[in-house]
Amino acid sequence: MSETMEKNEEVEMQENEVMTEKTVDELEAEIEKLKKENDKYYEHLQRTAAEFDNYKKRVSKEKENIYQLAVGDVVAKYITVVDSLEKGVNVQGMDESMKEGINLIYRQILDVMNSLNVEVIPTVNEKFNPEFHDAVMHIESEEYDEQTVVEELKRGYKIKDRVIRPAMVKVAN
């Protein structure tokens, strides 16, 4: 009987070893599967984070562009007022206190435009640039290089590289 019991115990131990090996292999396989799944989710998280970062940058840039467009549209409406005030400041024979009042308003509007990053387009002695200048007159001149702006007829304005109103100029040929 003891011999049979020993054989039974031996068989049982061998079966346990096989089951343990099987269980370890299964657990290792499951661990490997979970690692791959974890890596997949981590990569997805990284892509999502990068996409969100790009989205934030894009929205910020779009917001800035919309702001610049809105400022440009509002300033474009006031440019004719600025032109009129500029003419008023240069009128001869006007009462000095009236001229001083117009000049004060003119400077205040220019300060507001400056605070909105509105810039005057440079003209005289600049190379003619059709993106910024509107040539309404051409003159023949030996004094100036070809395609040089010789006179500003109407001031032009821009915000960064966006032209609000091109400068009307006279160009030398």
Per-residue pLDDT of the chain (173 residues; tens, 9 = 90+): 567 777 777 767 766 666 666 688 888 999 999 999 999 999 999 999 999 999 999 999 999 999 989 999 999 998 999 999 988 888 888 888 888 999 999 999 999 999 999 999 999 999 999 999 999 999 988 888 889 999 999 999 999 889 999 999 999 98
CA 138, 139, 140, 145 torsion: positive or negative? negative
Query: What is the Cα–Cα distance from 76 to 156, expressed in whole angstroms?
Result: 10
21: helix, strand or coil:
helix
Q: Is residue 131 part of a domain?
A: yes
Q: Is residue 162 part of a domain?
A: yes
pTM, rounded to two decimals? 0.66
Q: Is residue 137 part of a domain?
A: yes
Q: What is the pLDDT, as a whole number, of residue 120?
A: 93
Q: Is residue 141 part of a domain?
A: yes
Q: Is residue 43 part of a domain?
A: no
| CATH classification at residue 135 | 2.30.22.10
Q: What is the pLDDT, as a whole number, of residue 30?
A: 92
Encoded tokens for 59: 């929205």
128: helix, strand or coil:
coil
Encoded tokens for 88: 């008023």
Q: Is residue 59 part of a domain?
A: no
Q: Is residue 84 part of a domain?
A: no
What is the total count of domains within the chain?
A: 1
The residue segments making up the domain with residue 162 are: 120-173
Q: Which of 166, 119, 173 is nearest to 150 (CA)?
A: 173
Q: Is residue 68 part of a domain?
A: no
